[in-house]
C-alpha cells in the first residue's frame, strides 16, 4: 500500500475539516485515484447525521501523486479530525506540503512534510490513522434513495441560520416545508405560539426524474431536530455556491452543497410523529 502526494489548496481543506468537526470528531478518508472522499458519520444511531465530502484528486493533489494498493488502488482509513486540523493549521503559511503513508513501529501514520519558502523551518507531522478494509468501508456507503420529488435551492444560508437560531429558543423541533411552487417555509410551534418564516420566489434546480411531474406531490414537509439542522448550516462559512435541500418524506432530509469543485452531501434524520 503506497500513497504519496503533494497537497495544494490546504487552506480550503482546512476550512472543510473545521466544518466537518461541527458534526463529529473523526472521519473516514477514502482516497482513490479520482477523488478524495471524507465520510463523517458519528456512528451513533441517536445522532444519525451522515456527511459525504467529495474532493477531486487532481484539484487538491494536481497530478503530483501516486497511490497503490491491492484493493483497486484505493486506500481508506479513519483519522481524528482534530489532528488533521492542527496539521493543516501548522501548514497555513507553507506552500510545499507533501503527504505520505508511513509506518512507524508497525503503526500506520499519515506523514506530512511541511516546508515554507519564507522560513528555514521544516516541519514533520505524523497523524496516527486506522486503516480500514474494503468491507469496513462498504458499511459506510451513502443511503440509497429514490430520485427526489421535492427539492429547492436554499436562499442565503447565513440568514437561514440566523432565523433558525432565533427559533431554537421556542422549540426543539423545526418543521420544514418545501413547495414545488418556489416556496420554502420554516416553522416552530410551542403551546405559547408559533413562528413561521416564508421564502418565496426560490428556484428549483433541474433534476432528471423518470417519473412524470404530475405524479409528484406539490409540497412536502418534514420535522427535524433544530440543533442538528443548525450544525449543518455551518456550511455558510464555506461560502457555498449552491445549496439544494430535498425532502424524502418519511425518510430523511438531504442537503447538496457545492463549493467550487467540492461537493458535499448531508443526510439528516427526520422525526416521525
Partner 1 sequence: MQLIIAPRYIKQFAKTLQCLSKIGEDLYIQATEESIKFITVNSAKSTYVEVNMQYGFLEAYHEVEQSFGMQYKLRAKQCYQMFSSIKNVEKCAINISSDNNKVNFHMLCKNNIQKHYGVNCELATCSNALYSKNTPHRLSVKPKVLNDCLSFFSGTLEEISFQIQKDRFILRSYSDSPKKSSNIKSLQTEVNIDYADFDQYLTDGSNTEISFSFKDLKTIMAYCDSMNSGIDMYISQSGDPFHIHFKLTQNFEIDFVIATILMPSSQPSSQSSTNQQQQQQQQQQSSSSYQNKSYSYNNNNNNNSNQQYTNTSQNRTPNSYNSNIHHQHQHSTSQLSNNDNFGGFDNFDDQMDIQPPQPQAQQPIQQPIQNVHRNPSQQQIQPINPLQHTPQPSPNVSQITNKPMTFLERMGHRPLDEDDDDELSDSHNVDSMDEDGSDNAPSSFQGQ
φ, ψ (nearest 5 deg) of residue 86:
-65, -40
Pick the closer one to partner 1 by CB: 90 or 162. 90
Site string (77-116) toward partner 1, x via CB under 8 A: ------x--xx--x-------------xx-x-x-------
Compute the least distance from the CB of residue 109 to partner 1, in Å: 7
Site string for partner 1, 151-190 (x = CB under 8 A): ----------------------------------------
Which three cell numbers mark 262? Answer: 467540492
- 112 versus 255: smaller Cβ distance to partner 1: 112
Contact predicate 10/88, CB 8 Å: yes
Contact pattern from residue 113 through residue 132 relative to partner 1, giving x for each residue in contact according to CB under 8 A and a dash for the rest: ------xxxxxxxxxx-x--
Residues of span 198-227 touching partner 1 by CB under 8 A = none
- Given a contact cutoff of 8 angstroms between Cβ atoms, the answer to whether 50 and 76 are in contact is no
Rounded to the nearest whole angstrom, what is the least distance from the CB of residue 104 to partner 1 in the complex?
7
CB burial string 119-150: b at 16+ within 10 A, e below: eeeeeebbbebeebeeeebeebeeeeeeebbb
Nearest to partner 1 of 17, 238 (CB atom):
17
**Residue 270 and residue 249: Cα distance in Å, rounded?**
9
**Nearer to partner 1 by C-beta: 35 or 115?**
115
Three-state DSSP class for residue 35: strand
CA torsion 212-217-219-222 (nearest 10°) is -120
Per CB under 8 A, residues contacting partner 1 are 83, 86-87, 90, 104-105, 107, 109, 119-128, 130
Amino acid at each position: 500500500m503506497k500513497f504519496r502526494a503533494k497537497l495544494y489548496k490546504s487552506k480550503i481543506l482546512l476550512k472543510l475539516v473545521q466544518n466537518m468537526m461541527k458534526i463529529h470528531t473523526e472521519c473516514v478518508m477514502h482516497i482513490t485515484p479520482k477523488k478524495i472522499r471524507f465520510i463523517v458519520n458519528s456512528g451513533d444511531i441517536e445522532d444519525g447525521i451522515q456527511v459525504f465530502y467529495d474532493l477531486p484528486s487532481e484539484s487538491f493533489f494536481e497530478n503530483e501523486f501516486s497511490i497503490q494498493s491491492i484493493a483497486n488502488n484505493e486506500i481508506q482509513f479513519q483519522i481524528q479530525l482534530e489532528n488533521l486540523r492542527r496539521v493543516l493549521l501548522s501548514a497555513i503559511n507553507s506552500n510545499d506540503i507533501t503527504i505520505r503513508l508511513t509506518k512507524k513501529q508497525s503503526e500506520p501514520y499519515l506523514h506530512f512534510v511541511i516546508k515554507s519558502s519564507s522560513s528555514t523551518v521544516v516541519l514533520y507531522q505524523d497523524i496516527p490513522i486506522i486503516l480500514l478494509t474494503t468491507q469496513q468501508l462498504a458499511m459506510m456507503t451513502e443511503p440509497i434513495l429514490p430520485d427526489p420529488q421535492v427539492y429547492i435551492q436554499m436562499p442565503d444560508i447565513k440568514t437561514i441560520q440566523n432565523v433558525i437560531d432565533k427559533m431554537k429558543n421556542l422549540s426543539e423541533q423545526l418543521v420544514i416545508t418545501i413547495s414545488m411552487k418556489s416556496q420554502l417555509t420554516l416553522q416552530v410551534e410551542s403551546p405559547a405560539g408559533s413562528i413561521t418564516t416564508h421564502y418565496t420566489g426560490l428556484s428549483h434546480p433541474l433534476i432528471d426524474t423518470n417519473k412524470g411531474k404530475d405524479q409528484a406531490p406539490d409540497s412536502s414537509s418534514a420535522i427535524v431536530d433544530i440543533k442538528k439542522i443548525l450544525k449543518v448550516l455551518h456550511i455558510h462559512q464555506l461560502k457555498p455556491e449552491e445549496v439544494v435541500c430535498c425532502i424524502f418524506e418519511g425518510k430523511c432530509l438531504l442537503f447538496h452543497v457545492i463549493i467550487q469543485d467540492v461537493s458535499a452531501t448531508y443526510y439528516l434524520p427526520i422525526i416521525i410523529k
